[in-house]
Structures are given as structure tokens and as C-alpha cells.
Amino acid sequence: MFIAVNAHLDRQFEFVKSQWFNDGNFTGLDAEKDLLTGDNDGSGIFTIPRHPVRRRLHGVERFVTTRGGEYCFPPSLSALRWLADLGV
């Protein structure tokens, strides 16, 4: 279960989902996808930064499977005020 409350869907949630989870260029990891939430298909690589030598995992499988999704938008404050003023 995942819930996010954002002010701007495209600049916040969609950015994190596309850039951080599935595009390693954003974090300097080339084409690597996030280990837990990335869209891995078993052919990917994930780098674990270590000192003095990093560790690479090969053949990363999908960890999270999405079963469904929903974008739900709460009403604005002005809409809530309007509903409260209906007097029903």
C-alpha cells in the first residue's frame, strides 16, 4: 500500500517515479533502476556504493509488483467551504 499527498502530481510523484526509480542518470548510476521499486526485468544491474570497492548485483528481478493504481484528488479548500455553507 502506498499513499502520497502532493501539491503538484507531475513535478513530485511522477518525477520521483520516472527519474529516481527507473532512470539511474539522475543519481549518476547510468541506466540502473532502483533495487526495490524500479521496473526491473531480471537483466539489470544495481550498484551498492562501498568503500574501498563498490559491489554490483547482476540479474536484478522485480521486487514490487503493482496490482493497480488510482489517482484520487481531494477537494480544494474553497470547495470544502462551499460544501460547508450548503447547510444540508
Q: Evaluate whether residue 17 is within a structural domain.
A: yes
Q: What cell numbers appear for 55 in the block?
A: 559491489
Cα–Cα distances in angstroms (integers) from residue 17 to residues 6, 21, 82, 87, in the given order = 13, 5, 34, 42
**Of 85 and 39, more confident:** 85
Counts for the chain of helices (H) and strands (E), in that order: 2, 2
Number of domains in the chain: 1
Q: Evaluate whether residue 79 is within a structural domain.
A: no
* Of residues 62, 24, 60, the one with CA closest to residue 43: 60
Q: Evaluate whether residue 43 is within a structural domain.
A: yes
Going by pLDDT thresholds of 50, 70 and 90, the confidence category of residue 81 is very high
**Domain extent at residue 20:** 7-66
pLDDT value, residue 82: 92
Q: Evaluate whether residue 20 is within a structural domain.
A: yes
Q: Evaluate whether residue 83 is within a structural domain.
A: no
Q: Answer yes or no: is pLDDT of 78 > 90.
A: yes
pLDDT tens for residues 10-68? 788 777 777 777 776 666 667 777 777 777 788 878 888 778 888 888 888 888 887 88
Residues 6+ apart with CB under 8 A from 27: 20
Q: Evaluate whether residue 34 is within a structural domain.
A: yes
Q: Evaluate whether residue 81 is within a structural domain.
A: no
